[in-house]
A and B are shown apart, each in its own frame.
Chain A
Amino acid sequence: MTQTSENATARTGTGSRFTFWLGVAVIAGAVALVVLGFFAAPADDEQRDAVRMIFVHVPSALLTYVAFSMTAVGSLMWIWKRSLWWDITAHAAAEIGVIFCALTLFTGSVWGRPTWNTYWDWGDVRLVTTLILFLIMIGYLSIRASGGDEEATSTRAAVVGLVAAVNLPIVNRSVEWWFDRTLHQKSSLTDGNLEDMTLFTLVVGIAVWAAFFLWAMIHRFRIAWLERELRVGDLDEAIIERRAEALHDESPVL
């Protein structure tokens, strides 16, 4: 690809050759995951078909925490180094993280109904902590969407990101004490109870979802970057125009 056509793609869209092939890989992976998840992986002895939910639930839960960790790191880097790159990464990760978090909560409660016989269990620490985290991150996004001065908004959002990150362990601890018993499965990956095929499908699921996460992150990052360029560019143009007006203005100064 020549230099000019690269520039042209940069102007007209957020895609690149890499994201194109990544997208193709995600679609192919999703098809493979559906086949593996519904047909190759066996039903569980106790949970029966509901066990298939883990191919969505576990990857999205993992990626929620990856995303929100990126937001926390990005927030810190914005305050510490004024890194625009990290600021945009924090924002993109928060948005995508909220979607994954919603997916985690949704698949969890759909799975909980046949397995625990309830959509929601107050006694489950991870469940309640995740919901509180979800609500905090909604607040983060509402600060991001609040408008006004660009840098001030980034700083505010970064402080919210850090407040969330620092308070999360204590939220978790309080919920844990509050209901000192937990229904939640031990981590599905480490307890060694999964069938071989189920485990394989889960690993495929994590890879596919992670590739999708990366794809979405790259696009979201580029959109945010372009938006910022646009706003800053508009401002610069307006200033130049205003200056030109003042220079050519022949009316007497009042």
Chain B
Amino acid sequence: MLRDVRLVALKDLRIEWRSRVTLSQIVPFAALVLVLFGFALDANRPVLETATSGLFWITVMFVATMAVQRSTAVEINDGARRALLLAGIEPIAVFLGKTVAIAAQLLVVQVLLVAGVIVLYGASVGQWVLLLATCVVATVGIAAAGSLLGALVAGVRARETVLPILLLPILAPVLIGATRAFDDALGSVAVDGWAWLGLLAGFGAINLVLGALAYGVLLEET
């Protein structure tokens, strides 16, 4: 099964690498959002520094909906989804593979976003380990919930608009948890970031299990 997971993940990443959608559209979009937040908060350094964690994760949420849309679109075009089923790959391997691919893209964007908030918002990182752990753990949860809901909206006519409505409220705990953990890592608010990391891990685990159980039903019936 691990082989199949790797196959699906590499397939998606290869498509992304060749089409350059992540690099040429999603990354500039993320940068744009950072700049717009700067305008919205009147380039006020103290305000930006306090709000950095929240703005960072809001941006990640937006980017995540784009990445999930993209990951879904890849399967819909030319009946690729059916081909994937016919290839005899377990639905759970498809789910995990697509989750890995989405997570990988989100992590790339986050590396650039961290650089962005350091340069644009004047953030300074106090605890790199906590920061990196938060990025990885939160991303697993986002990608798992994202790839499950992506498959869910795949056959829906208005899927571009339905996806954010479904995905963003479910991701509320990630936004809260990751923002708090970042607050600790950036030293802007005195909270216990590691405790929040535990909550993020719980969210990730729950949604991985849920996706693994429900993905097959969705793939075969919708």
Contacts and interface: CB of A to CB of B under 8 A. Distances in A.
Given A167-B173, A170-B206, A160 B222 contact: no
Interface in B180-222: 180, 195-196, 199, 202-203, 206-207, 210, 214, 217-218, 221-222
B221 A167 contact: no
Contacts, number: 94
18 contacts: A136-B170, A142-B165, A143-B156, A152-B155, A152-B222, A159-B148, A163-B148, A166-B210, A167-B173, A167-B207, A170-B199, A171-B172, A173-B173, A174-B172, A174-B173, A174-B203, A177-B195, A178-B176
A170 B203 CA distance: 7
A13 to B, nearest CB: 32
Q: Which 3 A-B residue pairs are closest in the complex by CB-CB distance?
A: A174-B173, A152-B222, A139-B166
A-side interface size class: 20 to 34
Contacts of B18: none
Contacts of A143: 152-153, 156, 162, 166
A37 to B, nearest CB: 33
B157 interface: yes
Interface of A: 79, 132, 135-136, 138-139, 142-143, 146-149, 151-152, 155-156, 159-160, 162-164, 166-167, 170-171, 173-175, 177-178
Contacts of A132: 169, 172
User: Which of A142, A159, A162, A177 neighbours the largest number of chain B CB atoms within 10 Å of its CB?
Assistant: A159
A182 to B, nearest CB: 15
B166 A146 contact: no
A162 to B, nearest CB: 7
Given A143-B152, A162-B214, 13 more contacts: A132-B169, A132-B172, A139-B166, A139-B169, A142-B166, A149-B155, A156-B152, A159-B148, A159-B217, A170-B206, A175-B172, A177-B180, A177-B196
Contacts of B162: 139, 142-143, 146
A157 to B, nearest CB: 9
B152 A148 contact: no
B206 A146 contact: no
B-side interface size class: 20 to 34
B222 A167 contact: no
Contact of A135 (B155, B169, B202): B169
B217 A178 contact: no
B169 A136 contact: yes
User: Which DSSP category, helix, strand, loop or mixed, fits chain B's interface?
Assistant: helix
A149 B173 CA distance: 32
Nearest to A174: B173
B149 interface: yes
Contacts of B176: 174-175, 177-178
Contacts of B218: 155-156, 159
B152 A146 contact: no
A164 B152 CA distance: 14
Interface string B130-159: 000000000000000100110011011110
A163 B149 contact: yes
Contact of B165 (A139, A174, A175): A139
Nearest to A79: B217
A139 B159 CA distance: 12
Contacts of B149: 160, 163
A174 B153 CA distance: 26
A148 B180 contact: no
A191 to B, nearest CB: 28
A155 B210 contact: no
B177 interface: yes
Contacts of A164: 170
